[in-house]
Amino acid sequence: MGKAEQQVLFNPRFTFPDPDKISIMKILPLLLLLIFSPCTLGDGLPDLGDVSQAALNPMQEREIGQQSMMQIKASKQFLNDPEINDYLNQLGDRLVQFSNEPSLDFEFFAMNDYSVNAFALPGGFVGVNAGLLLITENESELASVLGHEISHVTQHHLARMVSATKGDTMASMAAIALAILAARSNPDVAQATVAGVQAHAMQKQLDFTREHEQEADRLGLELMQKAGFDTHAMPTFLERLQRSTRLIDGNAPNYMRTHPITSDRIADIENRVNKQPYRLLPDSLDFDLVRTKLIGSQKTASDAISYFTDALTTHRHGNPIAQQYGLVQALLRDKQLDRAKLELAALLKQAKDAQGAQNNAMIETLTGQVKRAANDPDTLSFYRTAVKNFPQHRALIYDYVDLLLNNNQAETAVKLLTDQVTRHPTDTTLYDLQARSYNQLHKPLEQHQAQAYSFAWQGNLPDAIQQLELAKRSGGSFYQLSIIESDLRELRDMQNAQTKK
Ligand SMILES: [Zn+2]
């Protein structure tokens, strides 16, 4: 395997963290503790007595963010839906381009959590809970949350707080960054930490200050305005959150804990937007489809069928194309293929008649899924065209590659995957598909190598190392083997750093 291909497999933007400096595995037990066992939260926390003012450089911030991401992916909290994540990235990038760091490589992702929250990690990672996606009433409201989080990142708020605490190693900084998130994402954790005085003190110390919030609001509004969203959506959304705390019991928006909303704060925003005109913007079809997908995924297939049928027949408020999409998806899940095909035909006609709804990647993906389930004879040729039209839509590519492999066309699959892995070097599904393809091509070295990267990006070092060992034993060119040796060294160093602790 050539040098170029090595670059493809390991994200050029992310080499595994230098173990001497960082050693993610050293902090893994602590992180898991923080995330999963609230009662003992106080036990493993760093001492916050000393305050070092050392600022973090952008690369350190990025490394902290990446380490936290690996943990989030390992925790299963990550919502592994490429369509939802692709959508969030498109929306986020529309705002980022107007920020003071337009070239910063942001990654937006959804969390499988139905409480209302969003958060930013150092280095450009922004998480949005499914619950927040569902509570927003229009795309500008969602943009207002993203704009605010982007501004926390570009103003380095979290990084400043992290570096202001005692954090002599990168590992403890990453631990602190995640501790902040863990403690705040779950109110019970916060309650439990009252026992752990350190944790309590830390949390008080690390809450975003009023100044941080105001700065993030102000800059977030600027991004919204420049990107053409309705800035009035920001105060509207915050007011609704504030009201909802009185209404929703036990599910009070965590967003309000992490980004304290005060009447002062809302008044300040209102003052700013009052000078700006209202913008009546239609939501993108993707916004409606993503939310429909989340609504459907919370219901059983038959409940979802009734829900969307009812929405369509009673002309319930909402986008009928999205409701029809939800119905087809539910019918497919329920294996009612004949009805799914009928309703899909209606969906395609509706989309064709509506302006701006033609050629939608999510509808195209669903069409392919119905065709596959129904064993439609033109399925393969459908995918060939669809992938040409939407070469960036990962959900479509996952499905197409799976179909290719079922049809023993691993060569074509490998070509597609190589391109995708370059774009999304931390996407473990792509590596899994790569491993399947190489298995079919009887290339054990490449197969185990791809499997190793999948495990590594899930934070599973032992299995990643085992796969690289298997790859090594499969034999290969001198060059291939030296790459595997070098990867093995990196992973082993990380693992050793963990056991040393
Ligand atoms: Zn905030």
Distance 108 CA to ligand 1 centre (A): 16
At residue 176 the predicted structure's pLDDT band, cuts being 50, 70 and 90, is low
Compute the distance from residue 12 Cα to the ligand 1 centre, in Å. 31
Centroid of ligand 1 to alpha carbon of 116 (angstroms): 13
Q: How far is the CA of 228 from the centre of ligand 1 (A)?
A: 21
What's the 149 CA to ligand 1 centre distance in angstroms?
6
Phi, psi of 27, deg, nearest 5: -100, -5
Secondary structure class of 160 (helix, strand, coil): helix
Q: How far is the CA of 291 from the centre of ligand 1 (A)?
A: 23
Q: From ligand 1's centre to the CA of 337, what distance in Å? A: 46
CA of 216 to the centre of ligand 1 (A): 6
pLDDT at 6 over 50: no
Average pLDDT in the 130-155 region? 94
**Distance from the alpha carbon of residue 213 to the mean position of ligand 1, in angstroms:** 5
Mean pLDDT is lowest, of 137-146, 343-352, 353-362, 468-477, for 353-362
Beta strand 125-129 pairing with 118-121 = antiparallel
For the segment 232-259, the average pLDDT, to the nearest whole number, is 72
How far away, in angstroms, is 206 Cα from ligand 1 center?
12
Q: Among 64-78, 86-100, 291-305, 436-450, which is the least confidently predicted range?
A: 64-78
Residue type, 217: D
Instruction: Provide the whole-model pTM.
Output: 0.81
CB 184 within 8 A of CB 259: no
Radius of gyration of the chain measured on its C-alpha atoms = 24
| 319 three-state secondary structure | coil
Q: What percent of the chain stands above pLDDT 70?
A: 75
Please measure the distance between the N-terminal and C-terminal CA atoms of the chain and give it in whole angstroms: 36
Is the pLDDT at 92 greater than 70? The verdict is yes
- For residue range 286-337, what is the model confidence (pLDDT) as tens digits? 999 999 999 999 999 999 999 999 999 998 888 999 999 999 999 999 999 9
Tell me the pLDDT tens digit for each residue of 327-380: 999 999 999 999 999 999 999 999 999 876 678 999 999 999 999 999 999 999
Instruction: State which amino acid sits at residue 469.
Output: E
- Residues 478-500 pLDDT 10s: 999 999 999 999 888 877 765 65
Give the tens place of pLDDT for each residue, 17-66.
333 333 333 333 333 333 322 222 222 223 222 233 346 778 878 877 87
What are the residue boundaries of the structural domains of the chain, listed by start? 18-274, 282-376
> How far is ligand 1, taken at its centre, from the CA of residue 433, in Å?
38
HSE (side-chain half, CA atoms, 13 Å) at 376 = 17
